[in-house]
Structure 1
Amino acid sequence: MRKVILLLSLLLNVIIVSAQNISGTLVGEDGAPISFANVVLLSSRDSAFVQGTISNEQGAFSIAEAGGNNILRISCLGFVTVTQAYTRYPVTIVMHEDANMMEEVVVNGHRPAYKLTSEGLQTNVQGTVLSKMGTADDVLKHIPGLQKKNSGYEVFGKGSPIIYVNGRLLRDLSELDQLKSEDIKNVELITSPGVKYDATVKAVVKITTKPIKGEGFGFDVRSGYNQWEYAGFVEQLNWNYRRNKLDIFGTVYYRKSEGYSESWFTQDTRVDTLWHQNNYQFAKTDVSNFTNIVGVNYAFDENNSIGAKYTLKANPDGKYHTIFNTDMYADGEYYDYLANDLNATAYYNPSHLVNVYYKGKISETEIDFNADYLFDKSSDNTVQDEKSSNKEDRLVTSTNKLRNELFAAKLVLSHPLFGGNVVAGAEYTHTEREDDYINPEGYVLTSFSQLKEQNISPFLEYNRDTPIGQLSVGTRYEWVNFDYYEDGEYMDGQSRSFGNFFPSISLGSEIGKVQLQLSYSAKTRRPSYQQLSNNVMYANRFTLQSGNPRLKHEIIHNVSLMGAWQFMQFSLDYTDRRDAIIYWGEQVEDNPAATLISFKNLNSLKSVSAFMSLAPKFGIWAPQLSFGVQKQWLNLETSTGILRMNKPLFTGAFNNTFNFNHGWVVSAEMNYQSKGDTENCSETKNVFYVDAGITKFFFNDKLSVKLSGTDLFHGMKSGNRMYYNKASSLQISQYDSRQVMFTVRYKFNATRNKYKGSGAGESEKERL
């Protein structure tokens, strides 16, 4: 019997060895993971192909049932192919850049420009003309599916994305202007984010920078000057000191900007009297931004590193001046003329943000931990002098003080499992906000509110290759406890606790040379703290503005199909927003002539969007033609009946880049957006604007000079008609968007830090 047991044990051991999982991680010379490399298992007897896989986003791979074979061949464009036998697993394989291949890419352009990854569409920047554009802000204008807006970027049909650089989320989009395009390796656009992202995230832009070698002290400096109606300046210094495993780094950034906007709008209020307003507004801003970043990073080995980073924002006081004049009519008869002159000063206390992180690997388990602390205070004083031709004059003063404090922590674990990869983790945030609003004259209510929120979010995701493609399945549970206090008193009606599951599933595959990805996700949109505020802002005696503490959060269901073929990319989306948050107006109860602009929830808002981009290359010319359409279905209930807000909105862009010899790069971008309906707003004007730039590089790209212009023909004018319950408004606006900028940049031994902190509680920071 003992011999039988021994024989069975030996047989079982042979089976286990034969079915051994071959797993490991691919990294570059800088320790950064190498994603989506081809990993092939070869026969130990004759080097014949056995089976293969690709590395995931973290560079991890796993091949089940090796059958005693142990030769691996790993290949990835831009790196030297590795072919080697291994006997112990998991293994960490360091891949070296192929200098000849990279030179070939630069000269001949063999590297594919676009590909679908496990999450979204990736655009290569390194070795292409995009690396010569200037900054990350310039590069993102050329990413298919992204649209440049006044306030930042939008993903067509998705809204504003969050943007990561090497896994670290950007809270301030001015940082895009601080990152050089030549340092970018690729940009990935994710339109259906998985469960590891906060449930409020509907789209993601991931920027990955290329590794920079070298030690010692390095820096790059940039100085910019722009001029049109007003002058503006930008000054920036990035510095880094590297010695062996230690990095000490920092950024000093200053920007001064002045701008204006002009608006002409009418408003009709239909109550017992038809009130008609003709308004003119001129608003001027004068603001400066100062940011100082310092951090330290220590890499124990290729897989383990820790670091800390401190960001200080000490912005000077901001100045705002607004002229707001109104002609008022009652049932067609002239009623009054109101002349408002508003002066506001924003006072910013220093804002502090600290991030600490650990990123490492124990056996086959990868660990990513981040903790963040944020504290800031600000206040603004407003003096509004309102002159009336027929009624009493008013002097309206207000003071608004804000205090925000946030602690957040996030832990993500990744481990190979059953030939795939499982990701598990949790995120915790604790937020406190104080909002003190004072109006001594009593024209609007004085209030002091306190908001406290805790959010606990565990998540689980599994990814693996299947016979029909790469499958990803996950779910995220978010539990929220929200406490609302008014003048120190707990408000039970506005306070609430709730929990929701947010599942996601995606399948990526190839049909011939066409790459496809089909996905479903459930997301949420939570009201910002400003939208939940009950502060009442005074525009004039007929128009007030406030938040709504009773707003519910949206639940968003989305089905998306993405595809790529050679130089063509396309997407098709269907979205259903339950309890959609929209801008809304109701009449003041004791004064129906006055409209209170606030927010409300709609039961459901459904829409579809389609987008296509073509990006071929003809010698020195790299054009990109993009076009899309978005259509919603909304029957809006108002006091005058049901309005059908179903008119589609079209968008298009034609970007051109010319990479001439001897360091000259020229670009011209044209953008168009048509009339159409979004939520309860009808866009009434077609918008068309043109940007252009020319860049010259000197001394092996160490020095660059760029002359650029935005909105050269001053076409960035907006028109929108808003519909409320008993009122509607039409507003036409133009902005100080046309300007010319001259930028000089110089770099010396520009080694870049290896900091890998990605932050925590990012959605809460955005809400604050």
Structure 2
Amino acid sequence: MKTSALLIPLFLLFASASLPVQAQFPIMGGSSQTKALPGTAGDQSPKGNAKITGIVLDSAQTKAVEFASIALYNQTTGNAVDGTVADEKGKFALTKLAAGQYRLLISFVGFRNKTIDNLTITNGQSLDLGVIKLSSSVKTLEEVTVVGQAALIEEKVDRLVYNADKDMTAKGGDATDVLRKVPLLTVDLDGNVSLRGSQNIRVLINNKPSTIVASSVADAMKQIPADQIKTVEVITSPSAKYDAEGSGGIINIITKKNSLQGLNLNVDSGVGNRGSSLSLNGNYRKGKAGFTLGGFGRANYNTITRTRLDQSSEVNGVSTLTRQTGDGTSSGLFGQYNLGFDYDLAKNQSLTAGVRYGVRNMLSQQDLITQLFTNGSAGAVSNRNVDVKNLSGTLDANVDYLHTFKPQQEWSISTLYSRNDLTNNFDADLLTNAGELTGRQRNLNKSLNQEFTLQTDYQTPIRKNQLIEFGGKAIFREVTSNYRYLVAGPTGGFTTENNNTLGELLYHQNIAAAYTSYTYTTKKRYTLKGGLRYEHTFLDASTRESGTLGVGDYGVLVPSINASKTIKGTTIKLAYNRRIQRPGLQQLNPNYNAANPQNITIGNPTLRPELTNNFELGLSKTIQKTFVNATFFGRVTNNAITQVRQPSDTLAGAIITSFENVGRQHAYGTNVFANVAVTSKINIGLFLNAFYTSLTGQAMDLEGLSATVTNAGFNVSGGTFASAQFKNGWGAQAFGFLQGSQVQLQGRQGGFGFFTLGVKKDFKNKKGSVGIAAENFLTKRFTIHTVLNSAQFNQVNDIYLYNRGVRLTFTYKIGKMTMDAPKKRARSVNNDDVKSESSGQTPTGGAQPRQ
């Protein structure tokens, strides 16, 4: 990419052979020349008035190699003397050189290094080297991509990067399989994602939002093929440049992109006892234009769930005990199709456009057997057969423009239109213990979430070590939900029970935002990045039942600060930021979801956003072959959107779950990660997440009055992974993870475990591979044991998941590509600011069909 952020690591890579780390000073723009710091070997060389100039060209295409790295060494001592980078036309100049004999090294990613020895210059001389041609290095590219063991985990100033393309066990899987292995993240068996124990996260795909994520993170991850994920970025302390949403932080999933010339087609497939997949992705690039076309399909089947529920409650002096068991199955079809286009309008201008369509069809069936005991007397046994349909279609379309003036000085305009049609219906047959049909129920709930975003950003360097960024953004969002709750006898048509079972939600949310951010780096390797963002939200909400809800507009000021310092190889980072989390459709939707009438869920359209203050201290160090990172964090959330459960006063034995802004959440803990490069081809990693959390909210007491409820405790999870590359293209990888029970406002959610093992064999020409991966093959099932309670009820819920699986994978590449210098593409819109369907959710028990 045309950015000095890429140039610095390249230059340091070659200069560090003889230049101490402490002597390397990253340039942030302004000048293209890199100087040695005072006190270093380079600085000890006498200065003069000589000069070396030249032009770097691509030998194959006879065009400039923009921003190639130039390093100058003393021919006798081998010490680094000076360095610079070429400009957009490939030109470079090294000035103020003393007379002497030198060696020049020219390098750039995708090209073979070029060395010019025995350069002799005298005082006052201007030595013009003319045209220097670099040849393409296709062989090097293959070695780095296929053979080399790049770091599995990388730490950057404001994020942790997991290189997912090294994960062979995820072949044939989806994004959920990848996220389970990312440090700091926790993914439960339903695919709900947490960051440091918080599900209030913001998920981006290639720096872009999508309404598919706004409806459900868990479902969205099932639509992204694991084979196409390059990296996963975990941003725990976002700067002001990022939207203020996501109190837990940001997860950015980067898919594989192609900056090569030519045509290629990748085929990825997998087949197993619980799921199969097929992915086709093509890329074509010629000159200034590039096209991508891809499709992915995945089918899940043979998914068995079994549940058991014991639930007791007391309302108006009447005690009720519910005992319920359930057996069910689920299946799903997921697809994602995309078309992309990019064009270089000029050397410093680019246009990017894309369309993506995602589809999700999830079907589940469950047979529930329920018996109620009233004041100790057993009632009749009832049977209930439930079929649930969870369907959606998502369209994302974007057009982005980028103008690069010089390294790190750029201006961009980004647009995005996103639309998600969501259907979540259920049909239930009510049966006697003898199997006789006594009645039917139906819930129809169709929702539409659409939004348009316009964003502009500008950044420019100030001198050599400062960068300023500012921009603005507008989001226009409309959410509608139509819901009907219908009943019928054994025969005949469906009718509404009462006026409360027929409704509509209309929710308009418009957001205006502006930000500024400033970065400063000192010569002693201190880095300080601070920023301020303001967001104002305009709301207009109404329901058919209640009319206008009167949810007022609000504004929020979001500061952020990040500081880092490297001391004797140890990097220390301090961070603070404030985040906002707006309610999502599942929390807002007042639809009466009674697929399991003993566990009913209803949303609250009057919810306000929650605000979180985050504090973080991070330490990282490489000790020989081991990289260690330890982070200590604190998180304080006010006005938290919290699940509140209470017994129904109209339906005996039922528990109703709703959402209220009544909570305060405090969390304090640590994340520890270690990666050991045993050899250049064997890696072993360990990670541990542990934090103490305290939750405070409101719930009903025995008299039916609102009372303060507090719950606290430790949450612990951890795991290990190992990967190895062997001769003749063989490789293996293993992963294991354990999640302890999690503290909830009214009890604790049960923990679980997960493990995988995979083996892969690359073909000799490295154009394809075959493999086998197995998950949870040592256990028949997992049990999630959840205990929830309050003054009015007690609930014990066991969910048994049968997910032992094995799958065969196959990949093949067709086509021939040639290396082209990577171009910087237009920046895309970043926004996904609402709580997902899974955010803040825990199993509410009671043999509820998986949705």
Shorter-chain TM-score: which interval? Answer: 0.7 to 0.9
1:129-175 Cα deviation digits (max 9, x unpaired): 65897589566554432334331543334436545565445753246
Which stretch of structure 1 is more off in the superposition, 697-706 or 756-765? Answer: 756-765
One-letter code aligned to 1:718: I
Q: What's 2:448 paired with?
A: 403
Deviation at 1:448, TM superposition (A): 1.4
Taking the TM superposition and a 5 Å limit, the aligned residue runs for 1:475-554 are 475-487=532-544, 490-493=547-550, 495-539=551-595, 541-554=597-610
Q: Is the 8 A contact 1:79 1:97 kept in 2?
A: no
- Distance in 2 between the 1:412 and 1:102 partners? 33
Q: Structure 1 residue 320 and structure 2 residue 364: aligned? A: yes
- Distance in 1 between the 2:415 and 2:249 partners? 23
- Distance in 2 between the 1:674 and 1:508 partners? 32
SS in 2 for 1:763: coil
1:450-507 Cα deviation digits (max 9, x unpaired): 11110111111111113571101111111111111222974143x2200011111110
Q: Structure 1 residue 144 and structure 2 residue 183: aligned? A: yes
SS in 2 for 1:645: strand
Deviation at 1:660, TM superposition (A): 1.4
Deviation at 1:395, TM superposition (A): 1.9
Taking the TM superposition and a 5 Å limit, the aligned residue runs for 1:46-85 are 53-54=25-26, 81-82=70-71
Q: What's 1:289 paired with?
A: 334
Q: Is the 8 A contact 2:168 2:758 kept in 1?
A: no
Q: Is the 8 A contact 2:208 2:830 kept in 1?
A: no
SS in 1 for 2:225: helix
Deviation at 1:679, TM superposition (A): 3.7
Q: What's 2:764 paired with?
A: 699
- Distance in 2 between the 1:302 and 1:165 partners? 27
Taking the TM superposition and a 5 Å limit, the aligned residue runs for 1:438-449 are 438-439=484-485, 440-442=495-497, 445-449=501-505
- Distance in 2 between the 1:60 and 1:702 partners? 42
One-letter code aligned to 2:416: D
Q: Is the 8 A contact 1:542 1:593 kept in 2?
A: yes
One-letter code aligned to 1:719: H
Q: What's 2:845 paired with?
A: none
Q: What's 1:434 paired with?
A: 480
SS in 2 for 1:646: strand
Q: Is the 8 A contact 1:25 1:91 kept in 2?
A: no
Unaligned runs of 5+ in 1: 1-23
SS in 1 for 2:614: strand
1:658 pairs with 714, 720, 724, which one? 724
Sort the Cα spacing of 1:398 and 1:511 in 2 relative to 1 into closer, same or farther, 3 A: same
Q: What's 2:685 paired with?
A: 624
1:401-439 Cα deviation digits (max 9, x unpaired): 222321112212111125311111122111112211112
Sort the Cα spacing of 1:362 and 1:351 in 2 relative to 1 into closer, same or farther, 3 A: same
Q: Is the 8 A contact 2:417 2:452 kept in 1?
A: yes
Q: Which has the higher contact order (CA 8 A, sep 6+)?
A: 2
Q: Structure 1 residue 581 and structure 2 residue 621: aligned? A: no
Q: Is the 8 A contact 2:10 2:69 kept in 1?
A: no
Taking the TM superposition and a 5 Å limit, the aligned residue runs for 1:81-100 are 81-82=70-71, 95-97=108-110
Q: Is the 8 A contact 2:168 2:760 kept in 1?
A: no
One-letter code aligned to 1:238: N
SS in 1 for 2:588: coil
Deviation at 1:665, TM superposition (A): 1.1
Q: What's 1:243 paired with?
A: 286
1:262-299 Cα deviation digits (max 9, x unpaired): 22122221221111111122332222123221121102
1:554-599 Cα deviation digits (max 9, x unpaired): 1011101122111111111111110111211234455675432111
Taking the TM superposition and a 5 Å limit, the aligned residue runs for 1:135-214 are 137=175, 140-150=179-189, 151=191, 153-159=193-199, 161-164=201-204, 166-169=206-209, 171=213, 172-174=220-222, 176-180=224-228, 184=230, 187-201=232-246, 202-206=248-252, 212=258, 214=260
1:373 pairs with 396, 417, 424, which one? 417
Deviation at 1:95, TM superposition (A): 3.4
2:527 pairs with 442, 455, 470, which one? 470
- Distance in 2 between the 1:546 and 1:68 partners? 77
1:178-211 Cα deviation digits (max 9, x unpaired): 5447xx4x65432111122221233234456787
- Distance in 2 between the 1:710 and 1:68 partners? 66
- Distance in 1 between the 2:400 and 2:250 partners? 21
- Distance in 2 between the 1:168 and 1:576 partners? 28
- Distance in 2 between the 1:683 and 1:314 partners? 31
Sort the Cα spacing of 1:593 and 1:492 in 2 relative to 1 into closer, same or farther, 3 A: same
SS in 2 for 1:531: helix
What TM-score, normalized by structure 1, do the two folds share? Answer: 0.83
Deviation at 1:523, TM superposition (A): 0.6
Q: Is the 8 A contact 2:582 2:834 kept in 1?
A: no
- Distance in 2 between the 1:72 and 1:688 partners? 61
One-letter code aligned to 2:108: M
Which stretch of structure 1 is more off in the superposition, 378-387 or 754-763? Answer: 754-763
Q: What's 1:120 paired with?
A: 159
- Distance in 1 between the 2:439 and 2:320 partners? 20
- Distance in 1 between the 2:223 and 2:597 partners? 40
1:609-632 Cα deviation digits (max 9, x unpaired): 211112112234311111221211
Which stretch of structure 1 is more off in the superposition, 269-278 or 155-164? Answer: 155-164
1:200-236 Cα deviation digits (max 9, x unpaired): 23323445678756423211011211204xxx32111
Q: What's 2:800 paired with?
A: 734
- Distance in 2 between the 1:368 and 1:671 partners? 41
SS in 2 for 1:530: helix
Q: Is the 8 A contact 2:426 2:595 kept in 1?
A: no
Q: What's 1:413 paired with?
A: 458
Q: Is the 8 A contact 1:25 1:61 kept in 2?
A: no
Sort the Cα spacing of 1:668 and 1:351 in 2 relative to 1 into closer, same or farther, 3 A: closer
1:705-726 Cα deviation digits (max 9, x unpaired): 1210122224543121223562
Sort the Cα spacing of 1:574 and 1:761 in 2 relative to 1 into closer, same or farther, 3 A: closer
Sort the Cα spacing of 1:164 and 1:499 in 2 relative to 1 into closer, same or farther, 3 A: closer
Q: How many residues align?
A: 719
One-letter code aligned to 1:396: Q
Which stretch of structure 1 is more off in the superposition, 757-766 or 511-520? Answer: 757-766
Quote the sequence identity (%): 18
- Distance in 2 between the 1:564 and 1:508 partners? 11
One-letter code aligned to 1:442: E
- Distance in 2 between the 1:244 and 1:164 partners? 30
One-letter code aligned to 2:692: K
Q: Is the 8 A contact 2:71 2:84 kept in 1?
A: no
Q: Is the 8 A contact 2:693 2:715 kept in 1?
A: no
- Distance in 2 between the 1:337 and 1:95 partners? 74
Q: Is the 8 A contact 1:307 1:358 kept in 2?
A: yes
Sort the Cα spacing of 1:215 and 1:25 in 2 relative to 1 into closer, same or farther, 3 A: closer
- Distance in 1 between the 2:595 and 2:640 partners? 26
- Distance in 2 between the 1:603 and 1:326 partners? 33
1:613-668 Cα deviation digits (max 9, x unpaired): 12112234311111221211235665158765222121110112122111111111
SS in 2 for 1:552: coil
